[in-house]
Structure 1
Amino acid sequence: MGQAAKDTILTPALCRAARGLLDWTQQQLSDASSVSRSTIRDFEGARHGMHKSTAAQLRRTFEDAGVIFTSIEGCGPGLCSAASTPSSPTHEAV
């Protein structure tokens, strides 16, 4: 993973995509991360920003669950499942 992927801690779109990849609800993410559901809801809905430490906590939760954050030059940030490999037909990238 390149430095650019680490620079992008978490965006609302990446948060929604990571939840989708894991098939998690906002409540499941809240339970796994100890971040309130209302904070997650407001962040994903772009109602307000999030402290860097809270975003890092959510990202760690996603990574612990098998989400890999990446950045592709010319395309920007993205994510994929650690359970998949690029040669696997079930490889999912968002």
Structure 2
Amino acid sequence: MTPSQCRAARALVAMSQDRLAEASGVAKRTIASFEKEDRQPYERTISALREALENVGVEFIAENGGGAGVRLRGVSNEKGSQ
């Protein structure tokens, strides 16, 4: 997960840094520094942030020629699925 993916993911689900800190167990200061690209946290910290965001419906899109990104997970009640 990149800093811009973290910012975008939070925006998609209207999650503040404070709320992400509570959900992930990562200090708000660490989240803010990561999102500003001031520091690169440990991999376990990134994993905790990613897991917390995935738990509220965010999907992370890998770099695949179109650039890394985020989207909301599809809902099973969408048209055509029963």
TM-score interval for Structure 1 and Structure 2 normalised by the shorter chain = 0.7 to 0.9
Unaligned runs of 5+ in 2: none
CA–CA distance in 1 between the matches of 2:40 and 2:8?
Answer: 17
| Identity across the alignment (%) | 35
Give the superposition deviation at 1:72: 5.5
Instruction: Tell me which residue corresponds to 1:21.
Output: 12
Report 1:1-20 matches (<5 A). Answer: 10-20=1-11
Whether 1:31 aligns to 2:12 is no
Unaligned runs of 5+ in 1: 1-9, 89-94
The C-alpha deviation readout for 1:3-40, integer Å capped at 9, x for no partner, is xxxxxxx1110000000001011101001111000000
Q: CA RMSD in A?
A: 1.8
With structure 1 as the length reference, what TM-score do the two structures score? 0.75
With structure 2 as the length reference, what TM-score do the two structures score? 0.85
Bigger Rg, structure 1 or 2: 2
